[in-house]
Amino acid sequence: MNSFIPIIFFALLSACSSGPNSVEYIAQGFEEKNREIYIASHGWHTGFVIPAELIQEYLPQLKERFNHTPYLEFGWGDKGFYQAKEITAGLTLKALFWPTETVIHAVAVPQTADKYFSNSEVSKVCLKKSQYQALVQFIANSFKKNQNNKIIPLKKGIYGNSQFYQSLGDFYFLNTCNKWTAKGLQSAGMDISPNFKLTADSIMKYLTTQSNCLNEHSK
């Protein structure tokens, strides 16, 4: 009888929300790849650094909060773990093994990500206009909104000019921050399977196989 407990546990996890969901990318024919984005890895966690203008049109509160920053970084993760001042074993185990609420961390980035995050691993990717729009839509769709259709600010962020916001989806070991990044890349039309991209290293290794922007890859 006890042998069925792990099976039931994993079945329950699989049934939980694994959002935010990828956006279905529809190719628009020939387009030059002239929209530059960055994927930054800060050790265990990856996120997107994108030009701020378009997503601020989607979500005007980001314009109010971050004003004229040229770039914004977005990361997604467990609400308790991501916002904690001190990381404990209890927080870590809860984040990994039990579905928990999530947040988006938004950061104003005043220059290109490879310069701003000089101590992190950064990969630059060039996208077509339609690919970039799909990625921005995915990121915007990841924000939870209130009854007035506005995004929900939480605590101040953990570095720089930054802010946490309530997000959609549950975090657990099969739905990590890096899987969220993979879903964003998939939304942008890249040939990536989010189910097998649960670590930062797997994301960055995937990006080294791409030829976008000559795939400038730095550390």
- Positive or negative torsion for Cα 134, 64, 84, 122: positive
Query: Is residue 27 situated within a structural domain?
Result: no
The pLDDT value recorded for residue 217 is 43
Question: Which three-class secondary structure state does DSSP give residue 207?
Answer: helix
Q: How far is CA 10 from CA 6, 100, 172, in A?
A: 6, 15, 11
Query: Is residue 26 situated within a structural domain?
Result: no
Computed over every residue of the chain, the mean pLDDT equals: 83
Split at pLDDT 50, 70, 90, the class of 213 is: low
Q: What is the pTM of this model?
A: 0.84
Rounded CA separation 109/63 (Å): 13
Rounded to the nearest angstrom, the gap between the alpha carbon of residue 127 and the centroid of all alpha carbons in its chain is 17
Query: Is residue 138 situated within a structural domain?
Result: yes
More reliable by pLDDT, 104 or 87: 104
More reliable by pLDDT, 169 or 24: 169
Domain count, the chain: 1
Mean pLDDT, rounded, for 176-201: 93
Query: Is residue 93 situated within a structural domain?
Result: yes
Beta strands in the chain (DSSP E): 35-41, 46-51, 71-78, 102-109, 121-127, 153-156, 162-166, 217-218
DSSP 23: P
Q: Worst-scoring range by mean pLDDT, 65-79, 97-111, 156-170?
A: 97-111
Query: Is residue 201 situated within a structural domain?
Result: yes
Query: Is residue 20 situated within a structural domain?
Result: no
Mean pLDDT, rounded, for 152-180: 93
Query: Is residue 208 situated within a structural domain?
Result: yes
Query: Is residue 9 situated within a structural domain?
Result: no
Rounded CA separation 62/72 (Å): 9
Classify the phi-psi angles of 21: left when phi > 0, otherwise alpha if psi is within -120 to 50, otherwise beta: beta
Instruction: Identify the domain containing residue 133 by its residue range.
Output: 32-218
Split at pLDDT 50, 70, 90, the class of 5 is: very low
Mean pLDDT, rounded, for 28-52: 91
